[in-house]
Structure 1
Amino acid sequence: MPEGYPDGPWRGWGPGDRRPRWWPEGEAWPPTDAAPWQRMRRRFMRRIGCALVLLVILLGSLIALVTWLVGRVLDGRLALVVTAVLPLVVVVLIVAVLLRLVRGTAAPVSDLIEAAARIEAGDYAARVPVRGPREVRGLARAFNAMGGRLEETDEARRRLLADVSHELRTPLTVMQGTLEGMLDGLYPVDEAHLAPVLEETRVLGRLVEDLRTLSLSEAGSLRLHREPTNLATLLRDVAAAHHPAADAVGVTLAPEGIDELPVLEVDPARIRQVVGNLIANALRFTPAGGRISVTASHTDDGVSVVVRDTGSGMEPEALEHAFDRFYRSPGSPGSGLGLPIARNLVEAHGGRIDIESAPGGGTAVRFTLPPSPEN
């Protein structure tokens, strides 16, 4: 039960309740409108009561009419017995049916009203039991699914803020320490000390740009500038751009079998980013003496590109979360944004991407781009 709730059914906020962690900053606590759901419940019950009173009046009129007709048709003691028993039997049956209907409908609706008020207050863990008539059960299931999605979204937002704060903290700390040392006279103001600060600003710039790309692609707002692109030339260029980094760590980087590829209508800058992210990710996990290959082939689904390394591979748990943003295996470098960005960019082109890996067996990331209409 969320912090701030007493044990047992929720009865609204009281002056003695502590402010829960999820309560919005800047809003008064406890809320002045502590339990709006209670008024909604009372209003709902009053409407049901009015409907019942109207129904009883109508039924009373119907019973009186039936009694009068029986008295006209039957004579003597039989008519007296029928007119005395019939209203009682009808009333008992009607009350039983109405009580069953009210219990079956009013209680689930009241649960929904209370849970909706809790979600409105920020408690996305609120759920309702699935009971009552079929329509109400369907509504309860839809409500619980909505609550689950809201809870997941809120949790993802919190994780994102925490992850972004963590990623920004390291370069800012380095920059702050170096600059303070220069101001205090501990470090000379020279290239040797200014170069790391400049590099950290570049790290921050890449992180901000990665976050922007990820946000746009997830929102479906990323604009692609498609043009006829020679994918073979693009792959060779990206591999050549990463050769210095590969040579520096003693890893062989080789494009293979990429000569016979069709021209595709893609955004070349974004596909370069995809391949660059995959190669950079492979370089982080491939030890000296290892190999990274970039291969491509023409398939019925389009063009399939595979970046394969001979690195340490991934554990099953890490493989399951490989495309989660900011996810990193223990001790892994990087920001954890490369694979999520690659997936979103490939999917924005109408393609698909998957990953295969095993501990000690290396990793292979394959993405497929659909063929151009003229192909």
Structure 2
Amino acid sequence: MRFGITAKLFLAIFATCMLVLITMHWGVRMSFERGFVDYIKQGNAQRVEQLRDALQEQYAQYGDWTFLRNNERLVFKLLHTMDQNEDDGNSMRGWRVRLWVLDAQRNRLFGSPAPIAADSTWQAIRHQGRVVGWVVASPSERLTRDADINFDRQQQRTSWFIVGLSTLLAIIVTWLMARGLLAPVKRLMKGIHRLAAGEFTARVPVNTRDELGRLAQDFNQLATALEKNEQSRRAFMADISHELRTPLAVLRGELEAIQDGVRKADSGSLLSLQNEVSTLTKLVDDLHQLSLSDVGALAYRRVSVDLIQLLHISVASFNERFQKKHIKVITQLPERASAFGDPDRLSQLFNNLLENSLRYTDNGGQLQIRAHTENGVCTLIWEDSAPGVDAEQLARIFDRFYRAERSRNRASGGSGLGLAICKNIVEAHGGRLYASASLLGGLQMTAEFPLHPPES
């Protein structure tokens, strides 16, 4: 039989309660029995002392033991008198031990003919400084009187009744406590089952601030992240199919037109087909680069490099293309900025950013590239002129296949993956890439890299 976590927790708490309850019951019973017997011993000792004092008075009055010989009723009368005159609320009426009265030579004057126990209590009767007799009391190690025995049994019944009632209360309280403590765990289990079944909208309520509450918060964050990832995956697949469908449709239309004789298979039609194939090739290459950078499989051969030198090389390779669009390129760069990175990937980053500005900046505009170093960080800033993007577009500019309507379109040749690849490259170098609105009316891209001392 397999127990659930609720039953296990219930048994653990209940077993602990029962262990504590039984230990307390045993301790209370032992304390009561010992205390009760000690109480009886003290009472008997006091009575024996009282009897001794009474006999001393009688002996002083008569001068010998003749008054007691063959007169056992006198002792009973003295005992009865002490019981009637006893007003102490802490004592109990009645004698619980055997008594003997002996003379100085230890001859028996009063008492049972049974032999005197070796551990009996002896009280000397003195007259004029000498021992004239003894009062002997048998030891009281157990209860002998019916009243004492009935009192002890009553206490036992009461004690066991309390144990039974406490056990019942422990069962009820432990069960409620186990269910209450495990209620958040059960909600988490249900949420995990829903999440495992693909229901990424599953959430669990957070009612506490303890470890279970923090676990519920972490679960909700995980579910939110999985929901966003699922939405991104679906959007990504839709975007890929959309991006691939367009050039394929153009290729199919061109080939059908040539096949039907609508268009001739001349150099113009072949150039159109080649352009669409180039678009597909670039899209596939970008997807491959993005997938490698996402999983961290993009090859990085890190050395000490000069970011400014690599940037100068990239700008020089784009000068002619910027001049054709009459875009003015202004650079404000320091002499050098050493970093630890891959020169090829950093060049790919700079080329992608320059390509992005070249494609999406209107003719006759300008591009400003600035850099400065501070607190061990090199900050590179790209600012281009109109068209710009609004706040909503800025929040999604690094999403895959995302294009702002006014500036990013398929006719420009972009796949919408370049900035996503740039972000992965910068983060792989321990830096940060973010976008903002440019004062020139366009887009500002800021890349931050940790500096590294150049190799000697």
TM-score by length of 2: 0.63
Q: Aligned partners of 1:263 and 1:138: how far apart in 2?
A: 43
SS in 2 for 1:362: strand
Q: Give 3-state SS (helix, strand or coil) of 2:358's partner.
A: helix
Paired residues for 1:82-231 under 5 Å: 82-83=158-159, 85-131=161-207, 134-227=210-303, 229=305, 231=307
Structure-2 change in CA distance of 1:173 and 1:301 (3 Å)? farther
Matches within 5 A, 1:251-290: 251-258=326-333, 260-262=335-337, 264-290=339-365
CA distance in 2, matches of 1:196, 1:358: 36
The reply to whether residue 321 of structure 1 matches residue 396 of structure 2 is yes
Write the deviation string for residues 304-326 of structure 1: whole angstroms up to 9, x where unpaired. 33222111222111122222333
User: Against the structure 1 CA distance between its residues 63 and 271, is the aligned structure 2 distance closer, same or farther, given a 3 Å change threshold?
Assistant: closer
CA distance in 2, matches of 1:349, 1:299: 17
**How big is each residue's C-alpha offset from its partner over 1:49-104, in whole Å with a ceiling of 9 and x where there is no partner?**
66588678768866875786588566545516633641244134313431331221
- How well do the aligned residues superpose, as a CA RMSD in angstroms? 3.4
8 A Cα contact 1:286 1:311, kept in partner: yes
Q: Which amino acid aligns with 1:194?
A: L
More strand by share: 2
Structure number with greater Rg is 2
Please give the secondary structure, in 1, of the residue aligned with 2:354.
helix
The within-5 A match list for 1:61-72 is 65=26, 72=33
- 1:365 Cα deviation from its structure 2 partner: 1.6
Identify if the C-alpha distance between structure 1 residues 368 and 71 changes in structure 2 by more than 3 Å, giving closer, same or farther.
closer
In the other structure, the counterpart of 1:3 is none
Q: Does 1:354 align with 2:455?
A: no
Change (3 A) 1:230 1:45: closer
Q: Distance in 2 between matches of 1:217 and 1:145?
A: 25
From 301, 304, 312, the equivalent of 2:376 is: 301
Where structure 2 has 5 or more consecutive residues not aligned to the other structure, the ranges are 37-147
Distance 1:80 1:209, change over 3 A: same
Tell me the equivalent position of 2:448.
368
C-alpha displacement at 1:192, in angstroms?
Answer: 0.6
User: In the alignment, residue 239 of structure 1 is paired with which amino acid?
Assistant: V
Alignment partner, residue 75 of structure 2? none
Distance 1:359 1:169, change over 3 A: farther
Residue 193 of structure 1: how far off its partner (Å): 0.9
Deviation sequence 1:265-286 (CA, Å, 0-9, x none)? 5423222221222222223332
- Superposed displacement of residue 289, structure 1: 1.8
- Report if the CA contact (8 A) 1:229-1:264 is conserved: yes
% identical aligned pairs? 32
The structure-2 alpha-carbon separation of the partners of 1:318 and 1:359, relative to structure 1 and needing over 3 Å to count, comes to: farther
Q: Give the corresponding residue for 1:242.
A: 318
